[in-house]
Structure 1
Amino acid sequence: MNLLDVNWVAVVIAALAGFLVGGLWYGPIMGRRWMAAIGLTEEDMKSADAGKLYGFTFLLALLASWTLAHTFASYDQSLGFMVKLLTAFGVALGFIVPALWTNYLFQRADRRLFWIDAGYWLLFYIAMGLVHASMA
């Protein structure tokens, strides 16, 4: 199988879906709690280079989306909608969440930060899984 043999429209739409989840999660839903957990203020956030920050974040979302699409394309094409959705969720639950937890334990990070970030990654991958499963 060719590494580039994926549904590129789904890759971009899924990355946009994950990016949108991030905007909502770290904005109106958990933004204030997240800033408090990492010790930043709204003024700190306004002083960031938004173009660079969001541009690079979207490129990373594209990479994650492509990796998920490639994973699905590597397996039997008869995978059903729920299998793809649960696989996307499983990637977050089985790989991302434990990695975060390990890092935050050693960093002695605020426990709230773990729950905020873990919730985001679970929703991020669910959103991408929904897109990829729907566009198969």
Structure 2
Amino acid sequence: MEMNWIAILISALATLVVGFVWYHPKVFGTIWMKETGLTQEELAKGNMLKIFGLTYIFSLFIVIIESALTIHQGGAVSMIGGPMKISEALPSYHAFMNDYGTAYRTFKHGALHGFISGLFFAFPIIAINGLFERKSWKYIFIHAGFWILTLTIIGSLICGWVK
């Protein structure tokens, strides 16, 4: 099983696309700015190339981990020693992959795992940080909602986009 690099590269754009909509002033942007104490003027001073570039790179990290959480066939590949060992795998591995190589490789299944990752991994991390930083629940829910939606989309794309 090879990694689908096109799916990975495009899925990593989800954080930027969803963020553009989610944090728009007509959606949650105005509330978010109020909760963080930022203004439009302060936001405009940021180095956008650095912010968007690093966001994309970090998003690639997230997509690669999310693919391990959503694509169950990765477990079979790891059992034989990784992708470099596929040519040396026993016939039983190849028979298994012929039978189950695309099992649970759907957008719906990926969305489920992405949602679960957002709810049970991203949300608690954001909530813990928010509590210690004395942030409001609005702040916590805005960020958690963003990550739950984004990870749902990433999981959907990365799992359903089978070569």
TM-score normalised by length of structure 2: 0.75
Q: Which AA in structure 2 matches 1:69?
A: S
The CA deviation at 1:47 is 0.5
The residue that corresponds to 2:56 in the other structure is 58
In structure 2, do the counterparts of structure 1 residues 75 and 83 end up closer, same or farther at CA, with 3 Å as the change threshold?
Answer: farther
The residue that corresponds to 1:9 in the other structure is 6
C-alpha distance in 1, partners of 2:7/2:27? 26
> Is the 1:15–1:61 Cα contact (8 Å) retained in structure 2?
yes
The CA deviation at 1:131 is 1.1
Q: Which AA in structure 2 matches 1:17?
A: A
- Structure number with higher relative contact order (C-alpha < 8 Å, ≥ 6 residues apart): 1
When the two structures are aligned, how many residues end up with a matched partner?
A: 133
The residue that corresponds to 1:104 in the other structure is 130
Identical amino acids, percent of aligned pairs: 29
CA RMSD of aligned residues (A): 1.7
Stretch moving more, 76-85 or 51-60: 76-85
Superposition pairs of residues 1-136 of structure 1, within 5 angstroms: 5-27=2-24, 28-71=26-69, 72=71, 73-75=73-75, 77=101, 78-81=103-106, 82-136=108-162
Aligned to 1:30, the other structure's residue is in SS state helix
Q: Which AA in structure 1 matches 2:74?
A: S
C-alpha deviations, 1:14-57, integer Å up to 9, x for none? 11123200111112421111111100000000011111011101
Aligned to 2:38, the other structure's residue is in SS state coil
C-alpha deviations, 1:43-89, integer Å up to 9, x for none? 00001111101110111111111211233251464124233221111
Stretch moving more, 85-94 or 64-73: 64-73
